């Protein structure tokens, strides 16, 4: 179903608000309040736009919590996926217990045996808790290189500024006195 121009604009606004991990961290009400009043954007319109975004790939993008992220991904699985109903229940209500590895409590809450719980755990751990990470511009192998170092050069406390430039793989240093 094609989106209207307004709905496309709202969806783009929300996409710009999604973190690198794929989460919408700001509440919809807050985003609506930040918009100019003359646009008359309310949280319900943003909710509709978010609903459209959450049905795009990768599954789970646009979620507002880990629970919602996992539920969105579970919703894309075939209905005959083994233990899907229990996995939904764990994702919705029992993530803290799963994270704490409180399997006794989980078995009691879910009324299931150890083998079933293990299969539910495997299903949930097969999901991606950071669906936007594949599109992130900065990966874990990247780091930030400082460009300015401030050093105390004299005992009297006059600082010196050392600037480092990396051009064509050559390093040049220059000292600037204040």
For residue 30, how many other CB atoms are within 10 A of its CB?
Answer: 11
The tokens describing 32, both together, are: 């609506």
Q: What is the pLDDT of residues 106-128, one digit of tens each?
A: 999 999 999 999 999 999 999 99
Distance (Å, rounded) from C-alpha 99 to C-alpha 97? 5
Comparing 7-11, 46-50, 71-75, 150-154, the range with the smallest average pLDDT is 150-154
Alpha helices of the chain — where are they, by DSSP H? 5-16, 28-34, 43-53, 66-74, 84-93, 95-99, 103-110, 114-125
Distance (Å, rounded) from C-alpha 101 to C-alpha 162? 50
Whether this model's pTM surpasses 0.85 = no
Q: What is the pLDDT of residues 28-61, one digit of tens each?
A: 999 888 888 888 888 899 999 999 999 999 999 9
Residues 6 or more apart whose CB falls under 8 angstroms from that of 62 comprise 14, 18, 22, 23, 24, 50, 53, 54, 56, 72
């Amino acid at each position: 179903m094609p989106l209207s121009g307004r709905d496309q604009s709202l969806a783009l606004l929300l996409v710009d608000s999604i973190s690198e991990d794929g989460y919408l961290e700001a509440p919809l009400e807050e985003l609506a309040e930040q918009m100019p009043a003359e646009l008359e954007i309310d949280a319900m319109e943003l909710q509709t736009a978010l609903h459209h975004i959450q049905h795009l790939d990768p599954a789970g993008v646009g979620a507002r919590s880990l629970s919602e992220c996992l539920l969105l991904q579970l919703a894309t699985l075939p209905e005959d996926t083994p233990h899907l109903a229990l996995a939904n229940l764990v994702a919705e209500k029992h993530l803290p217990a799963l994270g704490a590895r409180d399997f006794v409590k989980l078995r009691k809450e879910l009324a299931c045996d150890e083998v079933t719980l293990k299969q539910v755990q495997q299903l949930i751990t097969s999901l991606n808790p950071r669906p936007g990470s594949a599109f992130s511009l900065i990966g874990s192998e990247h780091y930030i290189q400082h460009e300015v170092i401030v050093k105390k050069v004299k005992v009297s406390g006059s600082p010196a500024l050392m600037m480092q430039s990396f051009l064509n793989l050559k390093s040049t240093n220059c000292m600037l006195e204040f």
